[in-house]
């Protein structure tokens, strides 16, 4: 798939793809030099852009989730959250999505605040919630969306439980009933 953005975007995509490929091949100890070799870039490019493997994994996971499960504007909070949750659900059924999430959690640096890992998705959700509030809809807090929808999906993947089709929509309905 060709993605816009010039050389910088091509490097980012090659590095992200290399990370996913190595992790999918069972390389749980993938190092920056190994990733760089697989991506066809110099390791210093990776260190300069991401600094640490942890930051690279976070960027790869967030970028993948934003691409595979963007939050659409359907005109209603229920529609927006359901479409988004279905996308997340689909991404969590995908082997590469599961691998990235597990690797991200496994490599989380103990000194970092866990909330950092969800900030990007929280920002996306806040925009959706703000738009719904502007339309006069009752809205949950971002933390409630994370607790009711995202956390159960992630928990299933982390503990290798099945992510059944339709569970994303069911979780959104629970959230909206709780409002």
* Per-residue pLDDT at 53: 85
Distance CA 163, CA 59 (A): 23
> Is the CB of residue 52 less than 8 Å from the CB of residue 116?
no
SS3 112: coil
pTM of the model: 0.80
More confident residue, 91 or 169: 169
The rounded distance, in Å, linking the Cα atoms of 92 and 97 is 5
What pLDDT, in 10s, does the model give residues 10-36?
Answer: 999 999 999 988 888 888 778 899 999
Local confidence band at 152 (pLDDT 50, 70, 90 cut-offs): very high
Tokens 């709780």 found at: 178
Q: Is the model more confident about 120 or about 147?
A: 147
For residue 9, is it left (φ>0), alpha (ψ between -120 and 50) or beta? Answer: alpha
Domains of the chain as residue ranges with CATH: 1-51 (1.10.10.60), 53-178 (1.10.357.10)
- Per residue in 31-51, pLDDT tens? 899 999 999 999 999 999 999
Give the H or E element holding residue 55.
helix 53-68
Tell me the C-alpha distance between 32 and 52, whole Å. Answer: 8
Distance CA 156, CA 36 (A): 31
Q: Is the pLDDT of residue 1 over 70?
A: no
Which pLDDT does position 4 carry in this prediction? 54
Cβ neighbours of residue 126 closer than 8 Å, sequence gap 6 or more: 142
| Confidence at residue 54, expressed as pLDDT on a 0 to 100 scale | 82
């Amino acid at each position: 798939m060709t993605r816009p953005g010039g050389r910088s975007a091509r490097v980012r995509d090659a590095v992200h793809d290399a990370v996913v490929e190595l992790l999918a091949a069972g390389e749980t100890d993938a190092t920056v030099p190994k990733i760089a070799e697989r991506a066809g870039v110099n390791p210093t490019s990776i260190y300069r852009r991401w600094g640490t493997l942890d930051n690279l994994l976070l960027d790869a996971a967030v970028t993948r989730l934003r691409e595979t499960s963007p939050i659409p504007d359907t005109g209603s909070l229920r529609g927006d959250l359901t479409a988004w949750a279905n996308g997340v659900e689909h991404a969590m059924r995908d082997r590469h999505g599961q691998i990235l999430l597990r690797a991200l959690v496994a490599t989380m640096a103990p000194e970092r605040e866990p909330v950092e890992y969800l900030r990007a998705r929280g920002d996306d959700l806040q925009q959706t919630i703000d738009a719904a509030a502007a339309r006069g809809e009752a809205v949950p807090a971002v933390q409630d969306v994370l607790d009711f929808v995202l956390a159960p999906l992630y928990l299933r993947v982390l503990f290798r439980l099945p992510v059944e089709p339709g569970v994303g929509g069911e979780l959104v309905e629970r959230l909206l009933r709780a409002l």
